[in-house]
Amino acid sequence: MSDITSPESAGNELAFESALRPKSLDEFVGQTKVRQQLSLMLNAAKMQGRSADHILLAGPPGLGKTTLAMIVAHESGHPLRLTSGPTIQHAGDLAAVLSSLVPGEVLFIDEIHRMARPAEEMLYLAMEDFRVDVMVGKGPGATSIPLELAPFTLVGATTRSGMLPNPLRDRFGFTAHLEFYSDADLTQVLARAATKLQVEINSEALGEIAKRSRGTPRIANRLLRRVRDFALVANVASVTITEARAALVLYEVDEMGLDRLDRQILTLLTGRFSDRPVGLSTLAVAVGEEQDTIEAVVEPFLVRQGLIARTQRGRVATGLAYQHLGLETPTLEG
C-alpha cells in the first residue's frame, strides 16, 4: 500500500468527501434510470437555452443526492449555491438567498422538508414565476413589494418526501426516487474510491466491503477507509479478504452489515421486549439514541433485511432476527 496523500491526511473531511465524488453523470455509478432521466432533462434545457426544470431528489441518506446536485450544476455549466432546510426558518432568509442568485444558478436545498412554512409558501411563487413578494413595514402600513428573480433551477433533497406539502412537491418538474445500491454497483463505487485513495485491494475484499455496506455508497466509502487504516497499521501492502474481514470485525460490522446500534436494537426486541411490540420513543430511550436516527437510518435497513416488522402497536423482531443472533425463535401460545 502506497503512502496516501489524500485530502483526509490534512484532516479536511469535506475535501476528502469531495475528492471521492464523481464529477459527471458518466462517472456516477448506479441509479441508471435516474441518470438517464437527468441527462435527458439537462440536454433538452441546453438545446433550448433555458434553465433546467426544478428537481426533487428523494431517498434514504447516503445515496448521492448532494453529489447529483453538484453534477446538475456542473453539466448545466452554471454555479451551485448550497443551503439546507433547517437554516431557512424565516421567509426573509429565503428571500435573501433567492435575490442574490445569478441567471441559471442551481440552488440546492438539502433536507427541504425541514424548511419553515412561511419560507415554503414564498418558494411556491419563486419556483413558478421567478418572483417573490417582500413585505415592507409592519401593521396596517405594511406593503408588499414584488421582487423579480433571475431564472434558476432548484434542486431539493429529502429523506422524507411524504412530509413535503403537495403544493411544493407539485412545482418540481422532475422527482427522482433514489434506490439502495446492489452489491455489484457498490463494488464499482469502492473500486473507484480505492484508486483515488491509492489503496491496493483485490476484488474479493471489495466485494466483502460492499456486502456489508447496507446498499449505501457513503457507508461503503467509510468502511473502505477503515479497512485501509487497518492494513496501513498492520503494514499490509495489498489488502485481501482476510484483512477486510478482520477490520470489519474490529469495527463491529457483521456479515449482514449490522453495526453495534443495529444489534443493540435487535437484542432489546428479542430480549427485554420479546413479549410485546415496542414504540419508537421507548426504543430510542432504551438505546440512548435520537428517534430521528432510528426512524430514518436504522429502522429502514432492518425492515428491508426482514429483521424487524412495524405493526400498528410498535416494532417487533422477526424470526430471522432471532436466527441472526443465534437465539431460539419463541413459540406463540394459543
Q: Using alpha carbons, select from 118, 123, 111, 116 the residue that is nearest to residue 83.
A: 111
CB crowding 100-137: b at 16 or more within 10 Å, else e: ebeebbbbbbbbbbbbbeebbebbeebbeebebeeeee
Catalytic residue among 35, 66, 158, 318: 66
- Has 211 been annotated as catalytic? no
Beta-sheet strands, E only, within 152-302: 153-158, 174-177
- Has 3 been annotated as catalytic? no
Catalytic residue among 35, 171, 218, 315: 218
- Has 272 been annotated as catalytic? no
Catalytic residue among 35, 67, 110, 185: 110
Q: Using alpha carbons, select from 65, 93, 71, 66 the residue that is nearest to residue 24.
A: 71
Catalytic residue among 67, 153, 158, 159: 159
Please give the Cα distance from 310 to 216 (Å, whole number).
22
Catalytic residue among 65, 171, 228, 315: 65
| 38 Cα distance to chain centroid | 18
Residue 260, Cβ neighbours under 10 Å: how many? 12
CB distance 316 to 269 below 8 Å: yes
Catalytic positions: 65-66, 110, 159, 218
